[in-house]
A and B are shown apart, each in its own frame.
Chain A
Amino acid sequence: MNTHEVSPDTHHDVYSKTVFGFWLYLLTDFMLFATIFAAYSVLSGNHFGGPTQKQLFNLDHATLQTVIFLISTFTVGIAGVYTHRKKRGGAIVFFLISFVLGIVFLGMELHEFSHFIAAGSGWKKNAFASSFFSLVGMFVLHLVFALLWVIVLLVPVFRFGITARSVLRLTCLKMFWQFLSIVWAFIYTIVYLLGIV
């Protein structure tokens, strides 16, 4: 006999609903990237006389980026563990490590973009360049959001410690960062590895 009313907003319910909702959001983000991936796949051979992947890509550079991002994903996972254990110090340190690695990654990517532009393969030049900038550019945009999100969430954690609310939000952030690393794995494989082969 269930006489205790379960209001829709007990803490457990909110957590479970929100995390599930965030998974669904990531699914839609995945579909968004899939669309741009499809465009890239179709257009990756259309250089219209401009520089090709073999001429532009530096595989060492891209591999280093990949390693850096993977490490940042690992550290964000550790940050997640500290978060769930409500350990403020550990969470802040490891989110910040991921943040710094993210900034390094960002810098490296912007460097690659400027190299592209200097080599005559800016986003206006031809369909291959346009689709490359669209795909990797979309990733960069997502990364910038993630970096902003780290700061926005860490500020109250720094001031007030880890509450139930911040556990939920930091978990979503962690999921987002891990999602980005999956997307980057696809980019590394389909754009860089397949481009140079």
Chain B
Amino acid sequence: MSLFGRLGEHALKHDWIEYAAGVSIVGGALVVIILITYLKKWGWLWREWFTSVDHKKIGIMYIVFSAIQLAKGLIDGLMMRAQQATASGDCMGYLGAEHFQQIFTAHGVTMIFFVGMGVVFGIINLVLPLQIGARDVAFPLLNSISFWLFAAGGLYIFISLVIGVFAGTGWTAYPPLAGLKYNPGVGVDYWLWSIQISGAGSLLSGINFLVTILKMRCPGMKLMRMPVFVWATLATVVLVIFAFPILTGTIGMLSTDRLLDTKIFTADYGGNPMMYINLIWAWGHPEVYILVLPAFGIFSEVVPVFSHKKLFGYTSMVWAIAVITFLSFIVWLHHFFTMGAGANVNAFFGIMTMVIAIPTGVKVFNWLFTMYRGKVTFTTPMLWFMGFIFIFVTGGMTGVMMAIPGIDFQVHNSLFLIAHFHSVIIGGVLFGFFSGYSYWFPKFTGFRLNEKLGKYAFWFWFVGFIVAFFPLYLLGFMGATRRMNHYPAGNGWQPLFIVASIGAFLILIGVLFQAAQLYKSIKERNQNKDTTGDPWNGRALEWSTASPPPFYNFAHLPEVHSRDAFWELKKSKKDIVKRKYEDIHMPKNSMVGVNIGILSCVMGFALVWHIFWLAAITFIGILIALIARLFVKETDYYVKAEEVEQIETRSRAT
């Protein structure tokens, strides 16, 4: 056993495109590190951010990390579009097949795990405690650990660009292709540990948020008085708790197949690759609802506020969420109707899948009828909602089509499928996030975003999306399968791929507008301060705090008597009774999260390269970090009442 396992010089050998990417990543990281050192901000970063257990800081870190991952994922997408627009007939494109396959695999992993889950947990972290009138989540330290596990898993996407390769199997990595026989190299192992480590973080977050919602609501906030965003979060974390362990177990068994040569998912020796597909989708389908339910929750916050009207049908919104949650566990087979389960089984799962369209449709109607007889202002958050209606609903329609096995047999794994899921994920999850981002930005930063640039960004995203993805529906019908790095010339596909590339480019412009918006807003922040804490005339409790909220959120925990708690408070014009300030009990910062993140990242790396002594040491290190924490006595402190009074008075004076 060599000291470095199977790590050797060959790991650094790449084609020129990979070199360019690797250099820019390493270069970019160096620039950031040098900048931070020059500005002497390491201490501040460590104290205020990395070791923070404050849900607001952790939420922002999730979103920053996801933004970086989004940039990478978009570049992946642009590269794929460029390849497919050119690689027709005699032209093989500019990417080799194996490189192309790594790109779409990384694209999928990046977007679903590190953008999707990242923005979901980011927004929940920021908004949930405030909306239920709590000071933090149930387990702040666990929250920090979850974030650092998430970040550790996400790093492999970048590391594998420089050292070694990433998987080329597609983001779900089906065996036997992902097994030892056909992929003995490091790529699939990077995929495995990236997902395993970040998955552990997600699981812990799920537990954290569920306890938070059920145990930490402020006095008077009964379940049926919670904002719908909180209900959506509740459903999401129930899904996380039941579904993520399936992922852990399944890819755990794939890793024993690869590390210990077990025969669970092999084609021979009695293994069963079809079982992997069943198990991975038993997780995978709930996963897509984990991604989209919070987006539905965000829209349930945004639409009433910008329609100046109560949300229509609160009760049926809650029931719809519950039905969707339950149903999402009994539809997984629709991801592989073509694997040959037989007519009865296929029909059952197909019918269950369509049934989900019913509660989803109810929600759409409820949002639209919130607008009915409202006073609608088309701010950026509201524009994202309108874009969602158009794109998500058409995506949903094609989803119900594919729920019919007879149709799915023709469009499974084709670009029709790709168009469908991008419609629901981008139209649903991403537009939902962008809506929430524009909506809650002033709350957490203290200043408003530039509206004009935000609107430009929206329009380029919206039109760009249609131009990029609607041609794919047609391509699917023309027999174009997914994940092709090249196709014959005579099929007439190329013009549509070219149109799709133009769309991707328009989306890129949209992203550039978002970056410009952020830059300009930061530059002009003093002119756009949110001095009231309630820039949109909001309805839920987060708007009752200053912008940004003090680190303890509420000097006095709110007492709630109805839905739309803050709106009712404003209507009743009650003077905020200036009660006596009290000492507030808050958790201390901790480096346990960062330590576990670093150790896990190294451990995963060691497992990928079979450097088993290093894996063992880091594993023991993680255990030691946890055990050591058990012996720390001073984990909390009290903020004195006088300090609370000072902070409150100061924020009301500005």
Residues of A within 8 A of B (CB): 2-3, 5-9, 13, 16-18, 20-21, 24-25, 27-36, 38-39, 42-43, 46-48, 123-131, 133-134, 148, 152-153, 156, 169
Q: Is B576 an interface residue (CB 8 A)?
A: no
Given A35-B246, A123-B262, residue A43 in contact with residue B270 (CB < 8 A)? yes
Given A28-B203, A35-B246, A43-B272, residue A3 in contact with residue B579 (CB < 8 A)? yes
Q: Is B279 an interface residue (CB 8 A)?
A: yes
Which residue from A6, A32, A124 sits with its C-beta under 8 Å from B262? Answer: A124
Given A5-B582, A156-B631, residue A31 in contact with residue B264 (CB < 8 A)? no
Shortest CB–CB separation between residue B471 and chain A, in angstroms?
39
In the assembled complex, the Cα of A180 lies from the Cα of B636 at a distance in Å of 32
Which residue from B249, B263, B270, B627 sits with its C-beta under 8 Å from A36? Answer: B249
Asked if B134 and A8 sit within 8 Å, CB to CB, the answer is yes
Asked if A9 and B636 sit within 8 Å, CB to CB, the answer is yes
Q: Is B323 an interface residue (CB 8 A)?
A: no
Q: Which 8 A-B pairs have the closest CB atoms?
A: A46-B270, A35-B249, A127-B270, A31-B245, A130-B262, A32-B245, A48-B270, A7-B585
Would you call the interface of chain A mostly helix, strand, loop, or mixed?
helix
Chain A minimum-CB-distance residue to B264: A130
Chain B minimum-CB-distance residue to A22: B207
Asked if B275 and A39 sit within 8 Å, CB to CB, the answer is yes
Asked if B211 and A20 sit within 8 Å, CB to CB, the answer is yes
Asked if A7 and B207 sit within 8 Å, CB to CB, the answer is no
Contacts of B249 in A (CB 8 A): 31-36, 39
In the assembled complex, the Cα of A33 lies from the Cα of B211 at a distance in Å of 23
Contacts of A126 in B (CB 8 A): 263, 269-270
Shortest CB–CB separation between residue B340 and chain A, in angstroms?
16
Contacts of A48 in B (CB 8 A): 263, 268-270
Map CB proximity to A onto B627-638 as digits: 1 under 8 Å, 0 otherwise: 100110000100
**9-residue interface stretch from B11-19, B214-222, B540-548, B605-613:** B214-222
Chain A minimum-CB-distance residue to B587: A9
- CB<8 Å pairs between A and B, sample of 23: A2-B559, A7-B584, A17-B215, A17-B216, A18-B139, A25-B207, A28-B203, A31-B242, A31-B249, A32-B245, A34-B245, A35-B250, A39-B279, A42-B272, A46-B271, A48-B263, A124-B261, A126-B269, A126-B270, A127-B266, A130-B257, A130-B264, A169-B630
In the assembled complex, the Cα of A16 lies from the Cα of B135 at a distance in Å of 17
Chain A minimum-CB-distance residue to B207: A24
Asked if B245 and A28 sit within 8 Å, CB to CB, the answer is yes
Among B520-567, those with CB < 8 Å from A are: 556-557, 559
Q: Is B248 an interface residue (CB 8 A)?
A: yes
Contacts of A7 in B (CB 8 A): 135, 582-585
Among B127-179, those with CB < 8 Å from A are: 134-136, 138-139
Contacts of A125 in B (CB 8 A): 263, 269
Given A8-B585, A9-B585, residue A127 in contact with residue B264 (CB < 8 A)? yes
Contacts of A16 in B (CB 8 A): 215
Asked if B203 and A130 sit within 8 Å, CB to CB, the answer is no
- Number of residues from B at the complex interface, CB < 8 A: 54
Shortest CB–CB separation between residue A143 and chain B, in angstroms?
15
Asked if B134 and A43 sit within 8 Å, CB to CB, the answer is no
Chain B minimum-CB-distance residue to A40: B264
Asked if B219 and A8 sit within 8 Å, CB to CB, the answer is no
Shortest CB–CB separation between residue B460 and chain A, in angstroms?
41
Contacts of A18 in B (CB 8 A): 139
Chain B minimum-CB-distance residue to A19: B211
Asked if A24 and B241 sit within 8 Å, CB to CB, the answer is yes
Asked if B557 and A28 sit within 8 Å, CB to CB, the answer is no
Q: Taking each of B216, B270, B623, which has the highest tally of chain A beta carbons within 10 Å of its own beta carbon?
A: B270
Shortest CB–CB separation between residue B239 and chain A, in angstroms?
12
Contacts of B587 in A (CB 8 A): 9
Shortest CB–CB separation between residue B53 and chain A, in angstroms?
13
Chain A minimum-CB-distance residue to B274: A42
Asked if B208 and A21 sit within 8 Å, CB to CB, the answer is yes
In the assembled complex, the Cα of A128 lies from the Cα of B135 at a distance in Å of 51
Contacts of A29 in B (CB 8 A): 245
In the assembled complex, the Cα of A36 lies from the Cα of B275 at a distance in Å of 11
Which residue from A6, A43, A152 sits with its C-beta under 8 Å from B264? Answer: A43
In the assembled complex, the Cα of A46 lies from the Cα of B263 at a distance in Å of 10
- A43-B264, A127-B266 given. 19 additional CB < 8 A pairs? A2-B559, A17-B215, A28-B206, A28-B244, A28-B245, A31-B241, A32-B245, A32-B246, A35-B249, A38-B275, A43-B272, A46-B272, A124-B261, A125-B263, A128-B270, A129-B263, A130-B257, A133-B262, A152-B627
Which residue from B264, B584, B630, B631 sits with its C-beta under 8 Å from A39? Answer: B264
Q: Taking each of B138, B206, B216, B584, which has the highest tally of chain A beta carbons within 10 Å of its own beta carbon?
A: B138
Among B585-642, those with CB < 8 Å from A are: 585, 587, 623, 627, 630-631, 636
In the assembled complex, the Cα of A25 lies from the Cα of B252 at a distance in Å of 18
Contacts of A6 in B (CB 8 A): 557
Asked if A8 and B135 sit within 8 Å, CB to CB, the answer is yes
Chain B minimum-CB-distance residue to A6: B557
In the assembled complex, the Cα of A191 lies from the Cα of B631 at a distance in Å of 40
Contacts of B584 in A (CB 8 A): 5, 7
Given A123-B262, A134-B262, residue A35 in contact with residue B139 (CB < 8 A)? no
Which residue from A8, A13, A32, A130 sits with its C-beta under 8 Å from B136? Answer: A8
In the assembled complex, the Cα of A115 lies from the Cα of B266 at a distance in Å of 25
In the assembled complex, the Cα of A5 lies from the Cα of B579 at a distance in Å of 10
Contacts of B211 in A (CB 8 A): 17, 20-21, 24
In the assembled complex, the Cα of A131 lies from the Cα of B595 at a distance in Å of 34
In the assembled complex, the Cα of A42 lies from the Cα of B207 at a distance in Å of 30
Shortest CB–CB separation between residue A79 and chain B, in angstroms?
18
Shortest CB–CB separation between residue A126 and chain B, in angstroms?
5
In the assembled complex, the Cα of A124 lies from the Cα of B259 at a distance in Å of 11
Asked if A21 and B269 sit within 8 Å, CB to CB, the answer is no
Asked if A127 and B216 sit within 8 Å, CB to CB, the answer is no
Given A9-B585, A43-B272, A128-B270, residue A123 in contact with residue B579 (CB < 8 A)? no
Contacts of B138 in A (CB 8 A): 17, 21
Contacts of A25 in B (CB 8 A): 207
In the assembled complex, the Cα of A9 lies from the Cα of B215 at a distance in Å of 12
Contacts of A46 in B (CB 8 A): 269-272
Chain B minimum-CB-distance residue to A130: B262
Chain A minimum-CB-distance residue to B203: A28
Contacts of A32 in B (CB 8 A): 245-246, 248-249
Q: Is B256 an interface residue (CB 8 A)?
A: yes
Contacts of B630 in A (CB 8 A): 152-153, 156, 169
Asked if B241 and A127 sit within 8 Å, CB to CB, the answer is no
Asked if A123 and B582 sit within 8 Å, CB to CB, the answer is no
Which residue from B215, B245, B271 sits with its C-beta under 8 Å from A127? Answer: B271
Q: Is B3 an interface residue (CB 8 A)?
A: no
Q: Is B386 an interface residue (CB 8 A)?
A: no
Contacts of B357 in A (CB 8 A): none
In the assembled complex, the Cα of A195 lies from the Cα of B134 at a distance in Å of 52
Given A7-B584, A36-B253, A43-B271, residue A20 in contact with residue B264 (CB < 8 A)? no
Contacts of B556 in A (CB 8 A): 5
In the assembled complex, the Cα of A90 lies from the Cα of B268 at a distance in Å of 54
Given A27-B241, A32-B245, residue A47 in contact with residue B250 (CB < 8 A)? no
